[in-house]
Amino acid sequence: MTRIHISEVGPRDGLQSIDRVMPLEAKKAWIAAEAAAGVPEIEVGSFVPPSLLPQMADTAELIAFAKGIEGLSVAVLIPNLKGAERAIAAGAEKMSIPFSMSETHSLKNVRKDHAAMVAEIRAIAELVAAQPAETRPHFEVGLATAFGCTIEGPVNEDNVVRLAAAAIEAGAVEVGLSDTTGYANPAQVKRLVRRVKAEIGADKLNTLHLHNTRGVGLANALAGLEEGITTLDSSLGGLGGCPFAPGASGNIVTEDLVFMLEAMGYETGIDLEKLLKVRSIIAEALPGEPLYGFTPDAGLPLGFAQVAA
């Protein structure tokens, strides 16, 4: 049975996209409850400066808290070398830097062109390599706007393949493909996953980060699975988006994704009944915030037998 690794990104991608700040205690309750439901990895925050994203100011505290949960992989987003230093100091187990395939988006988002980003990735990789093996975080590069950009429009696939190789050459352990803008379609997902895997090695691209902006998110996930993707980012209740990519709201919904995977016979290790109950923590902490997903309302099919976790 194939194991699919779910990385919950709601506490980072979800919460950074809304103006309100979720209280630290609510974040902890969310993380603890999702881990207890069997979610194996949670991106708990990011080391973007609090002046830009006050929602993420408690990321170091959340790392410390989440590391106390047995079996949970604790991930964070970092925007640059300084973020990497803070992530390492805080004890993050996985760090991911977004590398925008649209140079215009990269310049607008982090004021760096592609060459400067590759240099930054190299500096971070060197910092990571200098850490003792037992505390060295896993370093991944997320190829953002890989399927299209709200500023540039279509993104050249040859460039994505080339920049994926550049990120690996600069020292990233692996890359992921991110549909930051919700532009992807299943044919494109298949084609690009296949091309990038062929270029950098099948084991160096495992992750898709998808949004459900046009309702096609789970179809894109399916397309990725069929090309050997084994890690999927998603957000409980579909919270999420990119504040620098207008209209790019909503990661794929963890609840619906886990339903699909478990129904198909994939093993996620997640107890879906328990997962569905976690949603109330967000609803209570952020009253009125729109939550997405269909399985929470519909419930599980009669006689639905989950794969044993």
Identify any residues that bridge with 46 across adjacent strands, giving them in sequence order.
77
Question: What residues contact residue 304 under an 8 Å CB cut-off, 6+ apart?
Answer: 263
Tell me the DSSP string of 200-240.
Answer: H-GGGEEEEE-B-TTS-HHHHHHHHHHTT--EEEEBGGG--
Identify any residues that bridge with 149 across adjacent strands, giving them in sequence order.
153
Question: What residues contact residue 217 under an 8 Å CB cut-off, 6+ apart?
Answer: 182, 210, 211, 250, 251, 252, 253
Q: Which is nearer to a second copy, 133 or 305 (CB)?
A: 305
Min separation Cβ 24 and a second copy, Å: 31
Min separation Cβ 296 and a second copy, Å: 9
Q: Which is nearer to a second copy, 54 or 153 (CB)?
A: 153
Q: Which is nearer to a second copy, 22 or 261 (CB)?
A: 261
Min separation Cβ 185 and a second copy, Å: 4
Q: For residue 191, which of 234, 157, 222, 215 has the smallest C-alpha distance?
A: 157
Torsion of CA 268, 283, 63, 182, to 10 degrees: 60
Q: Which is nearer to a second copy, 107 or 151 (CB)?
A: 151
Min separation Cβ 183 and a second copy, Å: 4
Q: Which is nearer to a second copy, 71 or 303 (CB)?
A: 303
Is 149 a catalytic site residue? no
Q: Which residue ranges make up the site for a second copy (CB under 8 A)?
A: 148-154, 181-183, 185-188, 212-216, 218-219, 221-223, 247, 250, 253, 256, 259-260, 263-265, 293-295, 298-299, 301-303
**Tokens 């190829």 belong to residue:** 143
Min separation Cβ 228 and a second copy, Å: 16
Torsion of CA 55, 172, 152, 76, to 10 degrees: -10
CA–CA distance from 46 to each of 28, 41, 155, 183, 190 (Å)?
15, 15, 26, 24, 29
Question: What residues contact residue 152 under an 8 Å CB cut-off, 6+ apart?
Answer: 102, 103, 104, 105, 145
Min separation Cβ 46 and a second copy, Å: 24
Q: Which two tokens stand for residue 268?
A: 């996620």
Catalytic residue among 87, 168, 242, 257: 242
Q: Which two tokens stand for residue 156?
A: 């050249």
C-beta separation of 164 from 196 below 8 A? yes
Q: Which is nearer to a second copy, 103 or 120 (CB)?
A: 103
Residues with catalytic function: 242
